Amino acid sequence: MPLEPPLVLLGKARDDERLALLVAGNTTVTDEQVGFLAQQGIEKTLKAVLSCHGLAYRRTHDLSELLDALRVGGVAYPPGLDACVSLTPFAAEMRYDYLPPEETPEKRFDRATALRLVRLALEWAEGIVGRHDKQN
């Protein structure tokens, strides 16, 4: 029996989080790499929930667009998750271009914050996908 798309996406999001946690403290791993893993984990959780609710979404890395699709579909998500939109550039632009130099210390990429956002997204999505899985 094939796996349900929400379960597959959630499993892949967990993999992204697991790897991000393993490398986040390693100074030889770049912010771009950690940011990419965080962005990917959140993207997959959002898509898992959208899929779970039968809501259509484009093939996109734009976290803002995915959050908008949830809002339009009437799916509530944790308020702090809005901060994840700052990770969107890690999915494409920063994978192929360069990370611009930080102008101020306040704008520096915060790995711990990115990982907290992934955890927030996963905990929220696991509750929704888990309930859906039990109903099927």
Q: For a pLDDT cut of 90, what percent of the chain falls above it?
A: 76
Res 103: pLDDT:
47
Q: What is the pLDDT of residues 10-55, one digit of tens each?
A: 999 999 999 999 999 999 999 999 999 999 999 999 999 999 999 9
Kindly report the average pLDDT of the chain as a whole number: 88
Q: Which amino acid is at 36?
A: F
- Find the domain containing 31 and state its range: 5-135
Please list, residue by residue across 55-81, b when 16 or more beta carbons sit within 10 angstroms of its beta carbon and e when fewer do: bebeeebbbeebbebbeeeebebeeeb
In this structure, what CATH number is given to the domain that contains residue 97?
A: 1.20.120.330
DSSP string, the chain: -PPPHHHHHHHHHHHHHHHHHHHTT-TTS-HHHHHHHHHHHHHHHHHHHHHHTT----S---HHHHHHHHHHTT----GGGGGGGGGGGGGTHHHHS-PPPPSSGGGS--HHHHHHHHHHHHHHHHHHHHHHHHH-
Q: How many domains does the chain have?
A: 1
Q: What is the pLDDT of residues 79-126, one digit of tens each?
A: 999 999 999 999 876 656 655 555 445 568 899 999 999 999 999 999
